[in-house]
Structure 1
Amino acid sequence: MLRQIFPAVALLGAALMTGCAQTGQIPPTALTVPASAAPGWRPFSADSPWNTRIPADAKIDPKSDVLVADLGVGGDLYVNMPEWSVMVKYFDSSKAPKRAVRALYPGRYGPGFEPGERVPLPADALPEDATPAQSNYFTLVDPVRNLAWDTRQLGKTLQGDWFAGFGAAVDLSGTGVSMPWMKAERSDLSAGARPSGIPLMAGLIRVEEVKAGRIDHALAFAYPLAQTGKFLPPASTALGAADAASERHLGLPMGARIQLNPDYDIDNTLLSPSAKVVARALQEYGAILVDEAGATVLFAESGPEQLAAWEGVLAPGDLQALFTAEFIALNFHVIDTGEPMAGIPRKVK
């Protein structure tokens, strides 16, 4: 799921993380921060679409039944961890050394990763034994300053130089929504590690909130048949297609929001207590499409520290006791959030 192929230059290159999603200018404040997020911490502002409940009178997309039926192609609902999710490292950015992180793809970089910029990056940011499937999406998060540095394909050469397929600094005190690509001075200013342009912390299932018994935000999800070339806010870019033959004109566009029927009785199910916490978030906030994957999946924070903490709390298959492909088709709907916008034409890229 979310499999990315490393180009040959990744094995040879010197290194700088490039372009991801931006949600505002990074404030200059330099504070001493704890190594992990404090209880109750939540990224993005209260008015962010990620932190806004779906109203009881929300309009349902007229094509909802057809669109939701497509989700069944991805099989039962799965929580991506430890692979093909987001490796999160909480840190104190004011104490971290700043390093150059080079772009694997010339000219492709997001805000905060421009040529000459240096990124706060601990020497041990990536575990030495991390596989590409574990670290494909990696974010450094300073929860006190509310800043993050998102990357895709972050790595280090044998010479010790850092590189990334894409990188962007994110203001976690903002809405989590970048301007659409066509309104940006440079399209990569609205891009992100994910093809949707949505920040990596958006929609992650986090250990501390599941342990606390409540998730107060929308969840991020992906599935195999996402529409290419179209997107809806909070996405700022669309899923691309390599050529005309691989374009998909049907399916949900990046940024689409789905919701579990809020009247469904979650308590009287065989779900574990932690899985019920996730299910209630799907009823109250829904899930927003952020990526394409080989199955229908949600995403849990998957840094080494979080994976250890997930033991006995939530496992990848815990939702499958209820969320089968058939259940999803019958009990989810698509929220109508307007007319999709066009993604970047291939010739512009």
Structure 2
Amino acid sequence: MASIGASAAVHADFGSGTWDGGPIGIPVTTVPAGQATVRVSFQYADESDPGPYPVPANAAIEGGPSSTGDRHVIVYDPAHCRDYELFAARPLSGGAWQAGSGAVYDLRGNRLRTAGWTSADAAGLPILAGLVRYQEVAAGHIDHAIRITVSHSRNSYVWPARHAASDSSDASLPAMGLRLRLKASVSLAGLPAQARVVARAMQQYGVIVADNGSPWYLSGAPDSRWDNDALHALGTLTGSDFEVVNTSGLMVSPNSAQVRH
């Protein structure tokens, strides 16, 4: 906990409006049935699902078309219940795309990626599953763990993660896939409504270390209906308000995300 940042504040890395010319958060592009598939070439092809991917030419890119950041592209195909994710994605002429890495998830099952494989995320996990979305908060509950980033991780991963992204063997650093939980003793009474729903999910389902980045940054999808001031209130929570959770007893199989109840 000290290595992540006991005094560092929680930050909602999503919201309404724009920042540096792009949407605040990781956008999700939902495609219709029959969306044409395109070829995607990968820098890390040996750890990427080859596709093809149903990525439209106007797919939303994290940070906007001119972003110099992670440039994640998340495509949700409800007709086939699949999630297509790209890292460092850039459109090419003719409709094709290039990316650093890519992963395809069948949302009807629990199969994890091949052990040791990255995804569009450093931990080899699906990004979509860990995003905070406005529709969930508006409904009053988030029923899953939330994706977070940490400044430094170690060269290790724990279930359900499949990939590490560090050269360090320092045991004080968090492994990819580490689950942390907002302590039950932390009062949520003073938080605005939107922030309170997010915090309640962090008490019930926790957060999962998914990538290297700024400490305690929560991932979510941009939406014009977010109240940025309310989300900023999550900054009253710090690393010392969290505890590490040993989830090994929940595991049914190391190759499955299915859990014991």
Q: TM-score range by the shorter chain?
A: 0.7 to 0.9
Aligned residue runs from structure 1 range 75-114, under 5 A? 75-81=8-14, 85-92=25-32, 94-105=33-44, 107-111=45-49, 113=50
C-alpha distance after superposition, 1:170-212 (max 9, x if no partner): 111222633423xxxxxxxx42111110011121101100011
In structure 1, distance between residues paired with 2:95 and 2:57: 10
Which of 151, 162, 173 aligns to 2:108? It is 173
User: Per-residue deviation at 1:125?
Assistant: 1.5
In structure 2, distance between residues paired with 1:109 and 1:70: 29
Q: Could you list the runs of 5+ residues in structure 1 that have no partner in the other structure?
A: 1-67, 182-189, 340-349
Contact 1:87–1:135 at 8 Å: present in 2 too? Answer: no
Specify the alignment match of 2:76 in structure 1: 141
1:226 aligns with 2:141: no
TM-score (norm 2): 0.81
Identity of aligned residues (%): 26
**Structure 1 315/165 Cα, relative in aligned 2: closer, same or farther at 3 Å?**
farther
In structure 2, distance between residues paired with 1:254 and 1:232: 6
1:333 aligns with 2:249: no
Which of 170, 173, 190 aligns to 1:251? It is 173
Which of 93, 114, 134 aligns to 1:207? It is 134
Amino acid at match of 1:250: S
Aligned residue runs from structure 1 range 43-58, under 5 A? none
TM-score (norm 1): 0.62
**Structure 1 214/176 Cα, relative in aligned 2: closer, same or farther at 3 Å?**
farther
User: Per-residue deviation at 1:135?
Assistant: 6.2
Amino acid at match of 2:237: F
Specify the alignment match of 1:7 in structure 2: none
Specify the alignment match of 2:183 in structure 1: 261
1:323 aligns with 2:237: yes
**Structure 1 102/84 Cα, relative in aligned 2: closer, same or farther at 3 Å?**
farther
In structure 1, distance between residues paired with 2:6 and 2:165: 18
Larger radius of gyration: 1
User: Per-residue deviation at 1:298?
Assistant: 0.6
In structure 1, distance between residues paired with 2:40 and 2:99: 7
User: Per-residue deviation at 1:148?
Assistant: 0.8
Q: In structure 1, the residue corresponding to 2:4 is in which secondary structure? A: helix
Which of 138, 153, 166 aligns to 1:240? It is 166
C-alpha distance after superposition, 1:136-195 (max 9, x if no partner): 1111002343201110011123565421111111111222633423xxxxxxxx421111
User: Per-residue deviation at 1:249?
Assistant: 4.1
Which of 295, 306, 309 aligns to 2:225? It is 309
Q: Could you list the runs of 5+ residues in structure 2 that have no partner in the other structure?
A: 16-22, 250-261
C-alpha distance after superposition, 1:67-106 (max 9, x if no partner): x2223268211111266842211122x321111111234x
User: Per-residue deviation at 1:230?
Assistant: 0.6
**Structure 1 175/121 Cα, relative in aligned 2: closer, same or farther at 3 Å?**
same
Which of 163, 168, 175 aligns to 2:98? It is 163
Aligned length: 241
**Structure 1 109/256 Cα, relative in aligned 2: closer, same or farther at 3 Å?**
closer
CA RMSD of aligned residues (A): 2.7
Contact 1:151–1:167 at 8 Å: present in 2 too? Answer: yes
Q: In structure 2, the residue corresponding to 1:208 is in which secondary structure? A: helix
